[in-house]
């Protein structure tokens, strides 16, 4: 045991990047297994008979029994779980209990709409929050403009605390129903993206604005920034070359954690706007107890979240290579 520990320690010292990547990959695999197991267990905890729900309350008992046997629901849970893992290992996501459609086809058809929605919302968060937080910090540093600071903190606190579905309902009522500026629901062209993207992006933008401002204020209080200001460096050079890079690491950490939340938030937002994405399919399948669709959509969304977290870890490690050594 001591020899093995010594070898692992030597490997970590000489090849920290290899150890770092292996640990992150192992964490990803374990997390995916937990997502698969959790989705399988949770959908089956919902009371009710999915076969009876799919066929209707007036369906003949022999038809219900045949359908249950066809989908393996007449077997014990452990056997169902083993069969599910076996099919998953071969890339088989199953068949919808309600529509009879292969779940893989449903995922391929709906996933691009969800990913595009999440990516657009994340881009809006970065475009607004990174420069906005920097500007807010510059304007309010050293106690300047207290009214501006009060408005900023109040507005971002309110926005950050509002759930996605509340924002979605408010935007629909105000901008779609009352003012009729945008479509109420569905994917009817570029204008259809505005409301769901705003509903997803507003709360994360407020969170990141506050973080960027706080981190920028810390950097502005550093001695080397005071010395740079004393040298009367141009504002462009001072803020973009000296301030912004030093706030980037902490800001990217928070932003990387916000993207998985955006992906998860698409479930409710897509439901409100009847968006043809994988989130609305999951919401419908949970209500219908469509086991295969729920398991597949949870797996896809969970995998997207885990991959994003892995990419964020790698990006932060590239920005700060010393963290790789500390974490190994």
What is the predicted pLDDT for the residue at 8? 45
Whether pLDDT at 3 is above 70: no
Mean pLDDT along residues 116-144? 86
CATH number for 254 = 1.10.3720.10
Residue 170: which domain range? 112-280+318-327
Facing residues of 102 across strands? 95
Which positions ≥6 away from 292 have C-beta within 8 Å?
A: 93, 94, 95, 96, 97, 103
Q: Is the pLDDT confidence value at 195 over 50?
A: yes
pLDDT above 90 coverage of the chain, percent: 8
Answer whether residue 101 is part of any domain.
no
Is 307 among the domain residues? no
Output the pLDDT for position 316.
Answer: 72
DSSP 142: G
Residue 163: predicted pLDDT: 80
Please enumerate in sequence order all residues whose Cβ is within 8 A of that of 232, keeping only pairs 6 or more positions apart, or say none.
none
Assign residue 47 a region: left if phi > 0, alpha if psi is -120 to 50, beta otherwise? Answer: beta
Q: What is the pLDDT of residues 64-76, one digit of tens each?
A: 888 888 888 888 8
- Do the domain assignments include residue 69? no
Q: Would you state the pLDDT for residue 81? A: 92
Cα–Cα distance between 61 and 30 in angstroms, integer?
41
Q: Is residue 250 situated within a structural domain?
A: yes
**Does 306 reside within a domain?**
no
pLDDT bracket for residue 321 (50, 70, 90): low
**Higher per-residue pLDDT: 45 or 18:** 45
Identify whether the C-beta of residue 308 lies closer than 8 Å to the C-beta of residue 295.
no
Predicted confidence at residue 86, as pLDDT, reads: 92
Residue at 137 is within a domain: yes
How sure is the predictor about 1, in pLDDT bands with cuts at 50, 70 and 90?
very low
pTM over 0.85: no
pLDDT score at 193: 87
When pLDDT is cut at 50, 70 and 90, the band that residue 19 belongs to is confident
What pLDDT does residue 2 have?
53
* Mean of pLDDT values over 223-245: 70
Cα–Cα distance for residue pair 140/150, rounded to 1 Å? 10
| Helix, strand, coil % in the chain, rounded to nearest 5 | 80, 0, 20
Give the C-alpha separation, 284 to 25, whole Å: 32
Question: Which of 112-121, 141-150, 216-225, 306-315 reaches the highest mean pLDDT?
Answer: 112-121
Write the burial class of residue 274 (CB in 10 Å: 0-12 exposed, 13-18 middle, 19+ buried): middle
Instruction: Say whether pLDDT at 202 is over 80.
Output: yes
Asked whether residue 304 is assigned to any structural domain, the reply reads no
Residue 211 domain flag: yes
What is the structure's pLDDT at 7? 54
Range ranked top by mean pLDDT from 4-13, 157-166, 227-236? 157-166
In the chain, how many domains are there? 1
* pLDDT category of residue 169 using cuts at 50, 70 and 90: confident
Q: Which two tokens stand for residue 232?
A: 């009367």
pLDDT band of 274, cuts 50, 70, 90: confident
Of residues 207, 185, 202, the one with CA closest to residue 275: 185
pLDDT attached to residue 161: 83
What is the reported pLDDT for 243? Answer: 74
């Amino acid at each position: 045991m001591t020899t093995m520990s010594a070898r692992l320690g030597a490997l970590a010292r000489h090849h920290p990047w290899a150890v770092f990547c292996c640990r992150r990959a192992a964490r990803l695999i374990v997390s995916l297994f937990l997502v698969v197991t959790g989705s399988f267990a949770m959908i089956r905890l919902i009371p009710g008979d999915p076969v009876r729900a799919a066929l209707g309350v007036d369906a003949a008992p022999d038809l219900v029994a045949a359908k249950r046997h066809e989908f393996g629901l007449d077997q014990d849970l452990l056997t169902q779980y083993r069969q599910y893992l076996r099919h998953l290992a071969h890339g088989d996501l199953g068949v919808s209990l309600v529509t009879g459609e292969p779940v893989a086809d449903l995922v391929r058809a709906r996933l691009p709409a969800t990913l595009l929605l999440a990516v657009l919302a994340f881009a809006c968060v970065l475009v607004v929050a990174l420069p906005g937080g920097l500007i807010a910090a510059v304007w309010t540093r050293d106690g300047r403009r207290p009214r501006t600071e009060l408005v900023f903190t109040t507005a971002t606190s309110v926005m950050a605390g509002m759930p996605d579905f509340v924002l979605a309902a408010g935007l629909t009522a105000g901008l779609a129903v009352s003012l009729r500026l945008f479509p109420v629901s569905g994917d009817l062209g570029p204008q259809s993206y505005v409301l769901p993207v705003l509903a997803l992006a507003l709360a994360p933008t407020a969170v990141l604005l506050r973080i960027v401002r706080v981190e920028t204020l810390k950097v502005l209080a550093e001695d080397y920034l005071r010395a740079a200001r004393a040298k009367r460096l141009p504002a462009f050079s001072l803020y973009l070359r000296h301030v912004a890079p030093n706030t980037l690491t902490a800001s990217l950490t928070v932003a990387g954690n916000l993207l998985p939340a955006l992906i998860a938030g698409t479930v409710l937002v897509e439901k409100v706007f009847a968006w043809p994405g994988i989130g609305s399919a999951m919401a419908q399948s949970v209500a219908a107890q469509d086991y295969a669709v729920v398991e597949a959509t949870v797996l896809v969304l969970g995998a997207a979240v885990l991959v994003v977290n892995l990419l964020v870890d790698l990006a932060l490690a590239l920005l700060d290579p010393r963290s790789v050594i500390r974490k190994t």
